[in-house]
Structure 1
Amino acid sequence: MMQNERPNWFIILAEPNREGRAAEGLRERGIDAYAPKVLKRMVRRGRKVEVERPLFPGYLFAKLVEGVDDFRIPKRVVGVRDYLRFEGIPCAIQEGAINAIRRREGIEMERAQRAISGVHNFAEGEPTRVAEGPFSGFAAEVYSLDPKGAITALVNLFGRKTKVVFDGAQLEKV
């Protein structure tokens, strides 16, 4: 690599639900690839499970050097459709944007881990604030803790306390 030629991150369009496979295929061909993920709680067969999902469905990032790397390689990888283009030119983004995405990914993973172990972070009668959902910003008081991860809290709605069930990530300590 020449001194003046620095690698850029390019946005790659991926086939639906194949972002991880596409990133893996790019890495196998020696290209630095990044497909940010988050843990999401989903209901499958009546049970809540944590599943890794893409932070940006349908997109991933590849680090390439213009004039040095073969820009045709990514298009030959399973799961890759094309580059995201603007007026026919592949879109490049700065390293700072990728670093910001990595920080966001870390925050989201931490939030998901809190949700998984959320019951252990609170005590009955503890004052909290609703961080996510339709009651965001409301003050609440922990009423009961369910061993499966649900937290029942008393939220002041229209002048009366109402029981509402939350998961650990939806509440934060005051």
Structure 2
Amino acid sequence: MTYHIGQIEACDLETSARRPITLTGPLAGPPRWHALTVRPQREAAAEAWLELRGCYAFHPVTRTRVVRHGKVIERERRYLPGYVFCRFPSQVIISRVLACPVIAGAITLQSGQWGIITPEDIRKLHAMRSVDDAQRAARDDAKRIRKGDRVRVLAGVLGEGMEVEVVAIVAGKARFTLHMFGTDVRAEADVDHLHKLE
């Protein structure tokens, strides 16, 4: 059969879509972990691309809560920005991995070969998140404002910058008494606008 430039051929989509793209060679070997470098802010895309090709990949993140315009927003913060850790079933074919547009390379040895990460180091990376969550919970508990605490008012109509004692907490607002103009004035502010003093 002769083909001409520009000739359109029918393609069997059923078989071509099922053909798996592998990133590892035909030689069997032990699974290997590699630290891949990725383009900025593209860790999730690289992770998804690798998982579609049968490799387990992750990038360690922690979630933080931020208050913006009165709304609590959960954000992800990367521990190691620019890196994705991937477990390949056997010897990796580097050119196939680098075919991904968001993967730039890997951490290499002095010889230029891709460095292999030990399973113990991977366990430590996985444990980073649980350690950070425990530390954050301890910090949040220490920052929690309770009745009788001394606080500094960070924002509000009355008492901005003043140090006061919290009298009560009702529906996320702290009530306190200010001594202004020779008399006691009752005021309240969101607990987010107060800073707990030691």
**TM-score bracket for the superposition, by shorter chain length:** 0.5 to 0.7
How far did 1:64 drift?
1.8
| Aligned residue number for residue 159 of structure 1 | none
Q: CA RMSD in A?
A: 3.5
Q: Secondary structure at the match of 1:50?
A: strand
Larger radius of gyration between Structure 1 and Structure 2? 2
| Aligned residue number for residue 79 of structure 1 | 102
Number of aligned residue pairs: 137
**Please, which moves more after superposition, 143-152 or 26-35?**
143-152
Larger relative contact order, structure 1 or 2 (CA cutoff 8 Å, min sep 6)? 1
Residue 14 of structure 1 aligns to which amino acid in structure 2? V
CA offset digits 1:33-92 (Å, max 9, x no partner): 11111113456568663211211001111112453x433332122421111212211121
Note closer, same or farther for the CA distance 1:16–1:6 as it changes in structure 2 (3 Å cut). same
Richer in strand (by share): 1
| Aligned residue number for residue 161 of structure 1 | none
| Contact 2:145/2:191 (<8 A) preserved | no
Note closer, same or farther for the CA distance 1:77–1:110 as it changes in structure 2 (3 Å cut). farther
| Aligned residue number for residue 196 of structure 2 | 153
Rounded to whole Å, the distance in 1 between the matches of 2:98 and 2:60 is 20
- Provide the TM-score with structure 2 as the length reference: 0.55
CA offset digits 1:77-127 (Å, max 9, x no partner): 242111121221112111111111111112224555677x7599664347x
Q: Secondary structure at the match of 2:54?
A: coil
Residue 82 of structure 1 aligns to which amino acid in structure 2? G
| Contact 2:31/2:87 (<8 A) preserved | yes
Rounded to whole Å, the distance in 2 between the matches of 1:74 and 1:31 is 11
| Contact 2:145/2:196 (<8 A) preserved | no
Rounded to whole Å, the distance in 1 between the matches of 2:31 and 2:191 is 44
Note closer, same or farther for the CA distance 1:70–1:149 as it changes in structure 2 (3 Å cut). farther
Give runs of ≥4 in structure 1 deviating > 6 Å: 119-122
**Gap regions ≥5 residues in structure 1:** 127-142, 156-174
| Aligned residue number for residue 55 of structure 1 | 79
CA offset digits 1:119-139 (Å, max 9, x no partner): 99664347xxxxxxxxxxxxx
Q: Do structure 1's residue 34 and structure 2's residue 58 form an aligned pair?
A: yes
Rounded to whole Å, the distance in 1 between the matches of 2:135 and 2:102 is 29
- Provide the TM-score with structure 1 as the length reference: 0.61
**Gap regions ≥5 residues in structure 2:** 1-26, 150-164, 173-189
